[in-house]
Every structure is written in structure tokens, then in C-alpha cells.
């Protein structure tokens, strides 16, 4: 068994914090789409738990943690209620929400990679599932809301790349037998910092050279 980044109680608390802020992003999108409270709750739950649920089903960790820990299920509902009653105020602190979302991204790409490896997957597959844990919920959220997933849009600041970097750092540490709370924490911080820098400086992935597409991005 690989070493835990934190004690189980601390890690569980951090995961709930990450789930909470992922859920807020889902509920806020539901408000912008004029969904009712049920639609808000669905998007919040999917955004917060979708990536981890996908990972657990792939690796055979059943029933998934989302169905065995009541806190995982109730936390998105709490976020839904907050947005339902206070969404103008939540919108005004969107930057703060994004910072916590970036922290969740860093934590989940590392914990997802570690858990996948513990269940017997190879290094590449583990990193892939670490990425899926971090970004899968956001993809499902956008699909349900009839949006092109932010992950695929060129006009969005880098999101998957920081998660890929964090997951890759973990599998390299596993490969060279140096995975520890310190190196795991370094991977979390690196993914977190890259996401913050991408938001600050609007870093985006390059598009194809000499492309001939006439598609025009529709402003929101």
C-alpha cells in the first residue's frame, strides 16, 4: 500500500472541500442555464463526484466511494443550497471559488493516480485515471448542460494540462520508488500552481499549425 499524503481524516476533509467547490461550479452553471433546483443539484453532484465515480468503476473499487460515504453525497447538496439562495454573492467571489477549484484539481489528480496504482493498474493507466478523476466531473457537467466541454475549448485557460503534470509526477515518483507524503504534496502543489498561473496569464494550448478552419467562437 502506498503512503498516504495526509492522515485519513485530514485527506477526507480535503476531499470534501474539493468536492464542495467542484459542486459550486456545477450549480453556478445550472443557474446560468436557468435550471431549476433539481437541475442544479444534478449538475452539482455530477461535477463533484463524476470523476471519482468513473475511476472507481474502472478499477473495480465497488461500491464506489460516492455511494459509501454519505458526506460525499451530501456535500454537493449543501453547495447547491448555497448557490440557490446566494448565487449573486457566490458569483462575486468567483475568483476565490476558482482558487479552491484549482486546489481540488491538484489533490484529485494525485489521489486518483495513487488509488488507481494501488488497485493494480500500470503507470500510464494510473496517470490517465488520475486525470479523469480531476476533470471527469467537469466534462460530464458540460455535456449535461449542452455545452462544449471546457476541456476541449481552445479559448479556455489550461485545465487538463496541470492535472496531467501532477499525475505524471506521481507515476514518475512511483517508478523511481520515491513516492512519499513530501513528493505527493509537491505534485499537488505543482498542479495547483500551474492552474493558478494559467488563470492569471491566460495560458492556452496551441491549435493546429496552418489550420484552415473558418469556425468562429461564439462569445458568451
The answer to whether 40 and 73 have CB atoms below 8 angstroms apart is: no
Task: Tell me how crowded residue 175 is: count the other CB atoms within 10 A of its CB.
Answer: 10
Q: Grade residue 4 by pLDDT with cuts at 50, 70 and 90.
A: low
CA 111-116-121 angle, to 5 degrees, is 150
C-alpha to C-alpha distance for 139 and 174, rounded to whole angstroms: 28
- Confirm whether pTM is higher than 0.85: yes
Region of 177 (left: φ > 0; alpha: ψ -120 to 50; beta: rest) is left
The helices-and-strands tally (H runs, E runs) of the chain is 8, 0
- pLDDT category of residue 197 using cuts at 50, 70 and 90: very high
Domain boundaries, the chain: 8-201
Which pLDDT does position 172 carry in this prediction?
97
pLDDT higher than threshold 80 for residue 3:
no
Contact 121, 130 (CB under 8 A): no
Q: Would you place residue 14 in the very low, low, confident or very high pLDDT band (cuts 50, 70, 90)?
A: confident
pLDDT tens string 26-83: 998 999 899 999 999 999 999 999 999 999 999 999 999 889 999 999 999 999 999 9
Amino acid at each position: 500500500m502506498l503512503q498516504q499524503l495526509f492522515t485519513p481524516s485530514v485527506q477526507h476533509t480535503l476531499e470534501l472541500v474539493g468536492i464542495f467547490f467542484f459542486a459550486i461550479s456545477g450549480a453556478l452553471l445550472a443557474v446560468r442555464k436557468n435550471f431549476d433546483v433539481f437541475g442544479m443539484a444534478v449538475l452539482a453532484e455530477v461535477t463533484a463526484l463524476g470523476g471519482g465515480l468513473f475511476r472507481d468503476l474502472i478499477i473495480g473499487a465497488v461500491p464506489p466511494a460516492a455511494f459509501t460515504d454519505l458526506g460525499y453525497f451530501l456535500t454537493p447538496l449543501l453547495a447547491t443550497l448555497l448557490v440557490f439562495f446566494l448565487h449573486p454573492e457566490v458569483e462575486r467571489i468567483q475568483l476565490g471559488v476558482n482558487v479552491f477549484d484549482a486546489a481540488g484539481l491538484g489533490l484529485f489528480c494525485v489521489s486518483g493516480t495513487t488509488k488507481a496504482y494501488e488497485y493494480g493498474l500500470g503507470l500510464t493507466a494510473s496517470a490517465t485515471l488520475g486525470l479523469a478523476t480531476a476533470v471527469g466531473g467537469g466534462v460530464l457537467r458540460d455535456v449535461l448542460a449542452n455545452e462544449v466541454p471546457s476541456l476541449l475549448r481552445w479559448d479556455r485557460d489550461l485545465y487538463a494540462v496541470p492535472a496531467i503534470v501532477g499525475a505524471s509526477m506521481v507515476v514518475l515518483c512511483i517508478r523511481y520508488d520515491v513516492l512519499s507524503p513530501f513528493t505527493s504534496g509537491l505534485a499537488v502543489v505543482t498542479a495547483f500552481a500551474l492552474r493558478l498561473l494559467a488563470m492569471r496569464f491566460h495560458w492556452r494550448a496551441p491549435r493546429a499549425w496552418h489550420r484552415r478552419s473558418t469556425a468562429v467562437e461564439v462569445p458568451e
